[in-house]
Amino acid sequence: MTIAVARCIALLTLTFAVIAAGPPSTTRYDVTLTERLPGAGSERGTLALRMPADGIVTGTYRDFDGNGPYVVSGGRRNGTIWLDYRDVHVTATIAPRGLDGRAFRGGDPAEYVFRAVAIP
């Protein structure tokens, strides 16, 4: 009986700890996507991401032209994140102030610089 009671207490403690932690918060970023060619333009937008402990990343992207929201999906592991939205695939490093990496657009061989700065 004592072992069963101890197991129940342990299970309840774990359950309350998970509930107290709550859902992961959403972090917003200002995004710049710039083609690596000299004189090439850039695209700017806003990214809102949820990055829970399970490593599955979800969110939305809106460009500064007012288009969107577009669904963002991806994952993270060991300080690296990968994202897909619209026709863009991103691989980036999670830095203290945001995300730094590169991106490719579907069917376009050009590489883009991807920068996402966290909005406080």
Mean pLDDT by 10 residues, the chain (120 residues): 48 40 79 84 93 94 93 96 96 94 89 94
Closest CA to 45 of 94, 104, 117: 117
Q: Position 94: which residue type?
A: I
Model's pTM, two decimal places?
Answer: 0.76
CA 71, CA 50: separation in Å to the nearest integer? 12
44 with 64: CB under 8 angstroms? yes
Q: Position 36: which residue type?
A: R
Which residue ranges form the domains of the chain, and what is each CATH number? Answer: 24-118 (2.40.128.120)
Longest Cα separation, the chain: 75
